[in-house]
Amino acid sequence: MKSLSLPRCLAAALIAVGAASAQDTDHQPRGNQIPGPGQGPGRPEWVSDLFGFRNDPAADRDAWLRDMRLWRAEHRIRMGYDDSEYRRPELRWAQRNFISPQVMVEERTLFDPELNRWTVDRYLDDLEARYGGIDSVLLWPVYPNIGIDNRNQWDLVRDLPGGVAALRRAVEQFHRRNVRVLLPTMAWDNGTRDPGAPHWTVTAELMAEAGVDGVNGDTFSGLPRAYRVASDKTGHPVVFEPEMPPSADEGLIWNNQSWAYFDFEFTPTANKQKWLESRHMPNISDRWARDKTRDLHAAFFNGIGYVSWENIWGIWNQITDRDAEALRRVATVERQFADLLVCPDWEPFAPTLRYGVFGTKFPLEGVTLWLLVNQNEFAVSGRQISVPHADGRRYFDAWNGVGLDPEVSGGTATLAFEMEGQGYGAVLAVDPGAAVPNLDRYLGKMAALTARPLAAFSHEWHVLPQRMSDVPPSKPASSPPDGMLKIPGGRFEFRVSGIEIEGSDWEGLDVQYPWETSPRRSHDHVMQVATFYIDRYPVTNADFKRFLDASRYSPADGHNFLRDWSGASPRPGWERKPVTWVSLEDARAYAKWAGKRLPHEWEWQYCAQGAEGRLYPWGNEWDGAAVPKPDRGRDLTGPDDVDAHPSGASPFGVMDLTGNVWQWTDEFTDAHTRAAVLRGGSYYQPQASIWYFPQAYKLNEHGKYLLMAPSKDRAGTLGFRCASDSE
């Protein structure tokens, strides 16, 4: 390649820079947020962060608004912007999707495992009572359980109790309550079973079959256009909601909504995606926040939605009473004025008169709404905003549900009212001849809601306690039953930690043992273990076959039961392999038939490591010969025989504890989730993502497995062994 002369190099460099950002304005977005006026053209971010309290929003507001309008015009040209997806009637529900939780399908108010049916009304009634209800729901059937075997994301939806047909009926129940339903898809799921077709095709077909309304793209920065094409091809088009806003802004054209993650400062910011397309619906998501004030302020200021997520992978982060009541009021305002909130002429940072009070203006056809947030910790009362006035224009405090008497001077109306510390405000102006549907009823509702200040509601966060399920004792034996070993009792330091990928060291994470005051990740307890007996090997397929022949056991929910068998018998040559595809209920039924029980977790760990506190059953160093060879493929090859690795024996001679199949132990419940502690890890190690169910080969680690129903709980790498009490 020929070299360029210096002037030509300089020209090429300038062209490249210009192609990247040719907008000649002082004000620019910062990532997916737009800093407001007074935050200083060209001011470094750290200055704004450190000296944000010095911002003067009125100082360059006109210049800021001009710059941002110019930036938007140019950016739309660069995007080749086409708004046709926002004009489609079947997708327009997203423009009113203000409150949308993500909920685990294991949520106990949503599914009753004893009745084996969806309880949609019970779930919605709870949310209606606590914070005013929802507009849509994201049902989550995948992570963190995905990867325990090779079932992919679509398999796990089909394994829901009753299958897709029952799910569709549940979706219809949501629809009867005017709630839309979304399901997730994840691009990272490439280590489990190959679906045999492109992700977008399989996803679109499943969404149509289930009758859902939208797709949440987990970890996506905008779902690719291929998803839009595939969805339309099914004749059942759905809304796309990526977890992150489209990294290429062109994706805004066919992604009608998205989640929004905000960096919060004292001065709020405007959302870039909504500025580019006012009908795009971002939903603020900050699942680990215990105080939701800043999230709700950001949503209200922008007139956008909020992800009211409480069941986070089985960890309960309930919205506090104050935040729940604030959410009820915020949602009531946004739902009433939904048409105004998507108007193209909305103006963030409308002028206000009080320090720390920020507002946004939404004008549409003779009706104008201002949404305000008070970032101060103290209440602000008196004159709040001044707006252009016209004869006959009426004003309302749309937050407190009362009329306002303006102070009119020289064509300007100044409006006075009170805002709580870290509270909210809304002002409505109605021109003569303009109509606001159901205005009187709405004002009456808000007056009743705000009669009690938000400060009167508790803002204290509480951890949700758990209970370990009782394990009925077995008939005591005086000598080891057939196939069992005697484990002498003794002093045992039970030290174990949960290996959940997320949750950090949150109180409420993992499980709560009877001697603990709350759930937590790490556990350390000195106990006296009573003498007991335990199976030398996990229960095999041959053992389970004898149980079925003798008991005629047949589970009420038989989906996936003994899925790897050939009819009513194990595959030839699989008799000595540990039985899998058995639920916790199946394992308990076997144990009861055998006159045994499932082991407590500490019994499992004690017989695995003894009083020495070994890291592995055979010692403190990893030995690949003591466990099966890992399976990193996309199809399950099956576990090894239970006696295939004698060098893996524990100090007591217990075999096959680690690395072949996971093993059921204790169950834990709280008001919203059931989960079981699994021990031992398995031979199957799906590749390509950190989000698959992690292994727990070390004896000081355990897995927490969320429980819903046997059809979904059964897994190809999950078996069990039994214990028995001693005289």
What DSSP string runs through 203-272?
HHHHHHHHT-SEEEEEEEES--HHHHHHHHHTT---EEEEEE--SSGGGGGT--EEEE-----SS--EEH
Record the tokens describing residue 600, joined without a space. Answer: 């407590």
Distances (CA, A) of 445 to 303, 373, 398, 428, 586: 20, 20, 10, 15, 52
Q: Kindly state the average pLDDT of the residues 578-604.
A: 98
Is 356 part of any domain? no
Domain for residue 157, yes or no?
no
In a domain, 636, yes or no: yes
CA dist 417 and 406 (Å) reads: 10
Confidence tier at 369 by pLDDT (50, 70, 90) = very high
In angstroms, rounded to a whole number, what is the distance separating the alpha carbons of residues 152 and 705?
Answer: 16
Instruction: Tell which residue, 202, 212, 218, has the closest CA to residue 237.
Output: 212
pLDDT band at 516 (very low <50, low <70, confident <90, very high): very high
DSSP tally for the chain: helices H, then strands E: 18, 33
Q: Name the residue type at position 561.
A: F
The string over 569-591, giving b where at least 16 C-beta atoms fall within 10 Å of a residue's C-beta and e elsewhere, is ebeeebebbbbbbbbbbbbbbbb
Residue pair 352/358 in contact (Cβ under 8 Å)? The answer is yes
Sheet hosting strand 723-725, strand order edge to edge = 484-487, 532-535, 723-725
Structural domain of 501: 467-725
Per the DSSP assignment, residues forming a β-bridge with 677 are: 704
The residues facing 429 across adjacent strands are 368, 395
Give me the mean pLDDT over the 557-571 stretch. Answer: 96
Res 49: pLDDT: 54
Reduced to 3 states (helix: H, G, I; strand: E, B; else coil), residue 347 is strand
Nearest to 645 by CA among 533, 538, 546, 717: 538
Dump pLDDT digits (tens) for 484-511.
Answer: 999 999 999 999 999 999 999 999 999 9
**Residue 15: per-residue pLDDT:** 40
For 306-338, what is each residue's pLDDT tens digit? Answer: 999 999 999 999 999 999 999 999 999 999 999
> Closest by alpha carbon to 292, among 258, 313, 259, 318?
318
**Residues 141-153: tens digit of each pLDDT:** 999 999 999 999 9
Tens of pLDDT, residues 431-470: 999 999 999 999 999 999 999 999 999 999 999 999 999 9
Q: In what helix (H) or strand (E) does residue 138 lie, and over which residues does it extend?
A: strand 136-140
Residue with tokens 């909130």: 341
CA gap 103, 19 in Å, rounded? 43
Helices 584-593 + 541-551 axis angle, to 10: 70
Average pLDDT over residues 222-247: 96
Q: Using an 8 Å Cβ cutoff, are 99 and 285 in contact?
A: no
Token code pair at residue 62: 């006109």
Q: Which residue's structure tokens are 């005051």?
A: 517
Handedness of CA 263, 264, 267, 268 (dihedral sign): positive
| 415-435 average pLDDT score | 97
Q: How do residues 6-60 score in pLDDT, each as one tens digit?
A: 444 444 443 444 444 566 778 889 889 999 997 755 555 555 555 555 556 566 8
Quickly tell me which residue has 């949440």 as its tokens.
216
Contacts of 479 (CB under 8 A, 6+ apart): 486
pTM assigned to the model: 0.94
Query: Could you tell me if residue 657 is inside a domain?
Result: yes
Place of tokens 């897995």: 703
Tell me the torsion sign for CA atoms 529, 612, 495, 621: negative
Number of residues that this document lists for the chain:
727
CB proximity list for 143: less than 8 A, separation 6 or greater: 186, 218, 313, 691
Phi, psi of 372 (to 5 degrees): -130, 145
Surface-to-core class of residue 322, CB atoms within 10 Å of its CB (0-12 exposed, 13-18 middle, 19+ buried) = buried
Q: Which of 30-44, 84-98, 631-645, 710-724 has the lowest mean pLDDT?
A: 30-44
Q: What is the pLDDT of residue 264?
A: 87
pLDDT at 51 (0 to 100): 54
Q: Which residues contact 337 (CB under 8 A, 6 or more apart)?
A: 362, 369, 398, 428
**H runs (alpha helix) in 520-580:** 541-551
Q: Quick one: pLDDT at residue 256?
A: 98
How many domains are there within the chain? 1
Residue 603, domain CATH: 3.90.1580.10
Question: Average pLDDT of 216-235?
Answer: 97
Tokens describing residue 153: 């994301």
- 663 alpha carbon, distance to own chain's centre: 27
The answer to whether the beta carbons of residues 257 and 282 sit under 8 Å apart is yes
Q: Please give the structure tokens belonging to residue 139.
A: 């049902």
pLDDT given at position 7: 45
* Element of type H or E holding 166: helix 163-176
* Mean pLDDT of the residues in the chain: 94
Evaluate whether 675 touches 704 at the Cβ level (below 8 Å).
Answer: yes
Q: Which pLDDT score, from 0 to 100, does residue 6 have?
A: 43
211 is a domain residue: no
For residues 347, 353, 358, 360, the Cα torsion angle rounded to the nearest 10 degrees is -20
| Residue at 84 is within a domain | no
Number of other CB atoms surrounding residue 441 within 10 Å: 10
List Cβ neighbours of 3 (8 Å cut-off, separation of 6 or more). Answer: none
Q: Does residue 676 belong to any structural domain of this protein?
A: yes
> What is the signed CA dihedral for 63, 69, 72, 78, rounded to 10 degrees?
-90
Round the CA-based radius of gyration of the chain to a whole number and report it. 30
Residue 115 falls inside a structural domain: no
Q: What span, in angstroms and rounded, lies between the C-alpha atoms of 347 and 342?
A: 11
> In this structure, are residues 47 and 40 in contact, taking their beta carbons and an 8 Å threshold?
yes
Residue 419 dihedral angles phi and psi, to the nearest 5°: -125, 135
- pLDDT at position 358 is 96
What's the pLDDT at 57? 59
359 Cβ contact list (under 8 Å, min separation 6): 301, 349, 350, 351, 352, 370, 371, 372, 373, 385, 425
Band of residue 209 on the pLDDT scale cut at 50, 70, 90 = very high
Band of residue 172 on the pLDDT scale cut at 50, 70, 90:
very high
Q: Cα(522)–Cα(700) distance, rounded to whole angstroms?
A: 10
